[in-house]
Chains A and B, each alone.
Chain A
Amino acid sequence: MKSTGRFNLFFKKFKRFLPLLQNLTERDIKLKYRRSILGIAWSVLNPLLMMLVITQVFGLLLKIKVENFPVYYIVGVAMWNFFSDATFMSLNSVIDSAPLIKKVYIPKYIFPLEKCMFALINFLFSLIAVVIVMLFQSVVPSWTIILFWVPILYCFVFAIGVSLILSALSVYFRDLLHLYSVVLTIWMYATPIIYPVSLVKGSTLVYNIIRCNPMYYYVEYFRSVVMYGIVPDLTWNLICVTFSVGFFILGVFVFNRAQRNFILYI
Chain B
Amino acid sequence: MALSVEVKSLEMHFNMSKERLTTLKEYFLKMVRKELRFEDFVVLHDISFKIEQGDVFGIVGLNGSGKSTLLKLISGIMRPTKGNVKTHGTIAPLIELGAGFDMELTARENIYLNGSVLGFSKKFMDERFDEIVEFSEMRDFLDTPMKNYSSGMVARIGFAIATMTTPDILIVDEILSVGDFKFQEKCERRINDIMNSNTTVIIVSHSIDQIERLCQHCLWLEHGGIRMIGDSQAVCDAYKNT
Contact B24 A173 (CB under 8 A): yes
B109 at the A interface (CB under 8 A): yes
> Which single member of A31, A104, A263, A264 contacts B117 (CB below 8 Å)?
A104
B23 at the A interface (CB under 8 A): yes
Question: What residues of chain B lie closer than 8 Å to A19, measured between beta carbons?
Answer: 115-116, 120-122
Per-residue B-contact encoding for A162-176, CB less than 8 Å = 1, 0 else: 000000000011110
Contact A22 B93 (CB under 8 A): no
Contact B22 A103 (CB under 8 A): no
Q: CA separation between A27 and B112, bound complex, in Å?
A: 11
Question: What residues of chain A lie closer than 8 Å to B25, measured between beta carbons?
Answer: 175
B102 at the A interface (CB under 8 A): yes
> Which single member of B15, B24, B119 contacts A175 (CB below 8 Å)?
B24
B228 at the A interface (CB under 8 A): no
Question: What residues of chain A lie closer than 8 Å to B104, measured between beta carbons?
Answer: 31, 34
SS class, residues of chain B in contact with chain A: loop
Per-residue A-contact encoding for B105-134, CB less than 8 Å = 1, 0 else: 100010011011111111000000000000
Per-residue A-contact encoding for B22-46, CB less than 8 Å = 1, 0 else: 1111010000000000000000000
Contact A104 B118 (CB under 8 A): yes
Question: What residues of chain B lie closer than 8 Å to A264, measured between beta carbons?
Answer: 14-15
B100 at the A interface (CB under 8 A): yes
Contact B27 A31 (CB under 8 A): no
Contact B78 A20 (CB under 8 A): no
Per-residue B-contact encoding for A23-50, CB less than 8 Å = 1, 0 else: 1100100110010000000000000000
B79 at the A interface (CB under 8 A): yes
- CB nearest to B125 among chain A residues: A19
Contact B77 A174 (CB under 8 A): no
Question: What residues of chain A lie closer than 8 Å to B113, measured between beta carbons?
Answer: 20, 23-24, 27
Contact B24 A102 (CB under 8 A): no
Contact B24 A16 (CB under 8 A): no
Contact B14 A27 (CB under 8 A): no
Kindly identify, within residues 21 to 76 of chain B, every residue whose CB is under 8 Å from any CB belonging to chain A.
22-25, 27, 72, 75-76
Question: What residues of chain B lie closer than 8 Å to A17, measured between beta carbons?
Answer: 116, 119
B96 at the A interface (CB under 8 A): yes
SS class, residues of chain A in contact with chain B: helix
Question: What residues of chain A lie closer than 8 Å to B15, measured between beta carbons?
Answer: 264
> Which single member of B22, B93, B102 contacts A173 (CB below 8 Å)?
B22
Question: What residues of chain B lie closer than 8 Å to A104, measured between beta carbons?
Answer: 75, 77, 93, 95, 99-100, 117-118
Contact A20 B116 (CB under 8 A): yes
Q: CA separation between A103 and B98, bound complex, in Å?
A: 10
> Which single member of A23, A27, A102, A172 contacts B22 (CB below 8 Å)?
A172
A99 at the B interface (CB under 8 A): yes
> Which single member of A23, A31, A106, A260 contacts B112 (CB below 8 Å)?
A23
Q: CA separation between A106 and B102, bound complex, in Å?
A: 16
A200 at the B interface (CB under 8 A): no
Question: What residues of chain A lie closer than 8 Å to B22, measured between beta carbons?
Answer: 172-175, 265
Question: What residues of chain B lie closer than 8 Å to A22, measured between beta carbons?
Answer: 116, 122
Q: CA separation between A34 and B143, bound complex, in Å?
A: 14
Question: What residues of chain B lie closer than 8 Å to A143, measured between beta carbons?
Answer: none
Contact A103 B99 (CB under 8 A): yes
Contact A30 B105 (CB under 8 A): yes
A100 at the B interface (CB under 8 A): yes
A105 at the B interface (CB under 8 A): yes
Q: CA separation between A17 and B113, bound complex, in Å?
A: 11
Contact A27 B105 (CB under 8 A): yes
Q: CA separation between A16 and B116, bound complex, in Å?
A: 8
Q: CA separation between A174 and B104, bound complex, in Å?
A: 26
Contact B100 A103 (CB under 8 A): yes
CB proximity of B8 to chain A, nearest CB, Å: 20
**Known contacts A19-B122, A23-B113, A100-B117, A105 near B76 by CB under 8 Å:** yes
**Known contacts A30-B109, A31-B105, A104-B99, A263 near B77 by CB under 8 Å:** yes
Question: What residues of chain A lie closer than 8 Å to B105, measured between beta carbons?
Answer: 27, 30-31
Q: List 5 A-B contacts (CB under 8 A).
A: A27-B113, A100-B99, A100-B100, A260-B79, A265-B22
